[in-house]
Amino acid sequence: MDLYFLGTGAGLPSKRRNVTSIALRLHDERGTFWLIDCGEATQHKILSSPLSLSKLEHIFITHLHGDHIFGLPGLLGSRGFQAGEKPLVIYGPRGLEQFVETTIRLSETHLPYRLWVSVIDGGVIFDDEQMTVTCRQLNHGIPSYGYRFEEKPKRGKLRQTLLQEQGIPAGPIYGKLKEGHDVALDDGRVLRSADYLAPPTPGRVVTILGDTRPCDSAEELAEGADVLVHEATYAASEWERAQNHHHSTATDAARTAANAGVKQLVLTHVSARYDEEGEAKLLADAQAIFPATTLAHDHLIINVPRLPG
């Protein structure tokens, strides 16, 4: 599991940063990747990345401002040439379904795959045997959401040495115990799976927030996350401007990370007003509050390691 940053700028694309889009790569876990936001030219960024649209499984849209959705029509059309009939689900706020349907219809774009738009309104929006995705509304000028991607714990390894010490030979019994099933032996003994499995490995948590002022929902979504991705549109010296435009500063992001007890903070959605020196100041301001902070740039990869239980 890792994060691949396709676009890290705010509002307008620049020569150094494209507008917002992040891929959550789940190649080892699912053989796919999920896309969070799809600003203009996202598919062009994908062309210069290791990603392939044929592996795209889900899209999660945080809000309907153009720098987060204007890349959708082109990407959806191009995916049809690469992914065949593989279905695709897009999650996002109310109005997204109208935007997608209208652009596809008016452009007469033919999609050879099934496309669903799932309207979100908070709570659990996706759940299967591997992942749970929860969203909450944040504090922005229009409805904007954050997403918490939570991997389910991985069952512990089978303690084969213990079984061998008890005279139980390798075979189907091992497989049943590993799958979590208790096994009754011919001699009357019952082997409890829990007694022969190592502690489970905790699942990883990634929280990616849409545009927002500091708010309780952001901290709730980020609680204990391995990685928090938070906007840092403005420097601390422009706090009032950030408030007026419904955004956060780098120090706001750092305080959210500290309050939520996350392991790593990644700043993104950086205004084009900042040159390299200004960006260094953004990072320094955040690190003064939360040292484990990284400033994202286009094509940055952030690994999310699986920690032992």
Please write the tens of the pLDDT for every residue from 205-254. 999 999 999 999 999 999 999 999 999 999 999 999 999 999 999 999 99
Q: What are phi and psi of 131, to 5 degrees?
A: -135, 150
E strand intervals along the chain: 2-7, 9-10, 21-26, 32-36, 56-60, 88-92, 115-119, 123-127, 131-137, 145-151, 183-184, 190-191, 205-209, 227-231, 265-268, 270-271, 293-295, 301-303
Compute the CA torsion angle 63, 235, 148, 100 (nearest 10 deg): 20
174 plus 252 within the same structural domain = no
60 plus 170 within the same structural domain = no
Is 226 designated active site?
Answer: no
Identify the active-site residue in 37, 67, 226, 252.
Answer: 67
Annotated binding-site residue numbers for Zn(2+): 63, 65, 67-68, 140, 211, 269
78 plus 56 within the same structural domain = yes
Q: Which two tokens stand for residue 296?
A: 């994202």
Q: Which domain holds residue 215?
A: 2-154+201-303
CATH code for the domain of 121: 3.60.15.10
> Average pLDDT over the chain, rounded to whole?
95
User: Burial of 245 by CB count in 10 Å (0-12 exposed, 13-18 middle, 19+ buried)?
Assistant: middle
Domain-located, residue 308: no
pLDDT above 70: residue 120: yes
Please write the tens of the pLDDT for every residue from 240-271. 999 999 999 999 999 999 999 999 999 999 99
Q: How many domains does the chain have?
A: 2
180 plus 233 within the same structural domain = no
Domain-located, residue 15: yes
Q: Are 143 and 94 in contact (CB under 8 A)?
A: yes
